[in-house]
Amino acid sequence: MPQQPRLRPATPELGLKPNQAGLAVPSGPRVVLGVTGGIAAYKAIEVCRRLVDGGAHVQPLLTRGALRFVGETTFSALASEPVRTSLWSEADPIPHTTLGQGADVIVVAPATARLLADYAAGRSNDLLTATLLATRAPVVVCPAMHTEMWEHPAVQENLATLRRRGVHVVDPESGRLAGGDVGHGRLADPARIVEAVLAVLAPSDLAGLEVVVTAGGTREAIDPVRFIGNRSSGKQGHAVAVAAARRGARVTLITTAVLPAPGVHEVVSVVSAAEMHDAVMGRAATADVVVMSAAVADFRPVTVADHKIKKADGPPEIRLEPTVDILSALGHNKVPGQIVVGFAAETTDVAAHARAKLTAKNVDLLVANDVSAPATGFEHDTNEVVIYGAAGSETSVPLTTKEGVAERILDAIADLRLHSPPPQIVKSQPSTQESPPKEQQ
């Protein structure tokens, strides 16, 4: 029975949709971006741009201090609304309640020591502090200041107060500070800030789950310099891992790719099918969900030359042997309640091959894509897939970003968990290096 596509995605869709005039307008969440007066205010421009590019509706709100560092025009040009700066100079007599009530999230980047103190004390003395007090939306603060200020007990106590009240804090990083100093207190990287905002907006429907994701194409050595590989970039697998972490899962990503994986608990780098097999099998027993996005080699050379094969010796004869089918091994040894998801990269008869793999490998969901279609599959930033379920469901995901496809795969996993028996998975002892709370990732 074909499964109806969800009417409303579980995650705010950070995409563009046409308005009545046919123009692309943001359909995503309303973000109030507060900027206070610190040298790092220039990085807020990048945060603004990334949020807008992702489809968010961004309202910049600059303090008088911020205006000493960055210009209104830059933000007004990049954001979705003109900059707001004052409680008094607007046509709206109550801008703080309008902004506070309309926001899906408020992010303050950079947040100075003064802003943290005012917010913790409940002191309203400008449009930003008034808006922070007049909202029930989640708030993300991104402190930035000199090391001495950051380490001052007053600042740390104000932050502890804010954390206790549920405010999300993106901790600063170490590096170069204003005036040539080097130390802790530098504003978090804009990508980390945007990731934290997305994590706050995302549903927590995978909270508490252990999810193992594989990504990239394996390489099977022929000699010390040559290998048999494939064109998988790892982008789709990384997108699944990052989105799962955002939705609350504790994610282990086993990957051949060197790509960012913000929020992921553990990244395990592997090269060959055998390494991937060992890494997956060592972790699968306690996983609630395993997603095999990797393009694993089906065959590998029987022997690997220990020296570079020389051209003068003539064309080598390379004998191949099969690798272990990891997905099949997982599917046939599932812990009750565990969800195993496979992929199928096809170039012909996609539906028939995908259904055959779903059954043969005994998986719960199979994500099929036609890797020969334009803008789909290997190396592209976009993908178009059909998600087949073991119970007969079939969900088409039209051409979209790989992040969009990742969300739909996770929607399917979340739906399946709602209808599957409680897992009998014996958890490993909690590791000493626990996943950081969502807001700190």
User: Quick one: which of 48, 242, 254, 292 contacts ligand CTP (CB under 6 A)?
Assistant: 292
Phi, psi dihedral angles at 243 (to 5 degrees): -65, -35
Find out whether 419 and 211 touch, Cβ atoms under 8 Å. Answer: no
**Contact string (CB under 6 A) for ligand CTP, positions 243-282, x = contact:** ------------------------------x---------
> By CB under 6 A, is residue 216 in contact with ligand CTP?
no
CA pair distance 435, 381, nearest whole angstrom:
28
The torsion region of residue 285 among left (phi > 0), alpha (psi -120 to 50) and beta comes to: alpha
Decide if residue 345 touches ligand CTP (CB under 6 A).
yes
**Is the CB of 246 or the CB of 357 nearer to ligand CTP?**
357
The size of the interface with ligand CTP (CB under 6 A), counted in residues, is: 14
Our finding on whether 232 is near ligand CTP (CB under 6 A) is no
Only one of the segments 51-59, 125-133, 311-319, 337-345 lies at the binding site for ligand CTP (rule: CB under 6 A); that segment is 337-345
* Residue 50, burial from CB neighbour count under 10 angstroms (0-12, 13-18, 19+): middle
Q: Is 370 in the site for ligand CTP (CB under 6 A)?
A: no
| 268 membership: H or E segment, kind and range | strand 266-269
Q: Is 74 helix (H, G, I), strand (E, B) or coil?
A: helix
- 356: its two tokens: 């055959």
The packing angle between helices 41-53 and 190-201, to 10°, is 50
Between 85 and 236, CB nearer to ligand CTP: 236
Minimum Å gap between C-beta 417 and ligand CTP is 20
Give CA–CA dist 310/312, Å, rounded.
5
What are the tokens at 304? 């690997």
Among 75, 150, 343, 378, binds ligand CTP (CB under 6 A): 343
Is there binding between residue 405 and ligand CTP (CB under 6 A)? no
Query: Does residue number 342 form part of the binding site for ligand CTP (CB under 6 A)?
Result: yes
Contact 218, 256 (CB under 8 A): yes
Q: Does 294 bind ligand CTP (CB under 6 A)?
A: yes
Q: Which amino acid is at 402?
A: K
What DSSP element (H or E) covers 30?
A: strand 30-35
DSSP 312: G
The H or E element that residue 210 is part of is strand 210-215
Q: Which is nearer to ligand CTP, 192 or 235 (CB)?
A: 235
Among 327, 339, 409, 410, binds ligand CTP (CB under 6 A): 327
What's 180's DSSP letter?
A: G
CA atoms of 292 and 289, how far apart (whole Å): 10
Does residue 298 bind ligand CTP (CB under 6 A)?
Answer: yes
Min separation Cβ 338 and ligand CTP, Å: 15
Residue among 167, 344, 365, 413 that touches ligand CTP (CB under 6 A): 344
Contact segment (CB under 6 A) with ligand CTP among 128-136, 162-170, 184-192, 291-299 equals 291-299
Q: Does 325 bind ligand CTP (CB under 6 A)?
A: yes
Would strands 105-111 and 30-35 be described as parallel, antiparallel, or unpaired?
parallel
Helices (H), 347-424: 350-360, 402-419
Q: Which of 19, 125, 158, 230 is catalytic?
A: 230
Is there a catalytic annotation at residue 19? no
Which one, 164 or 319, has the nearer CB to ligand CTP? 319
323 touching ligand CTP, by CB under 6 A: yes
Nearest approach in angstroms of CB 369 to ligand CTP is 9
Give the footprint of ligand CTP on this chain (CB under 6 A). Answer: 273, 292, 294, 296, 298, 323, 325-327, 342-345, 357
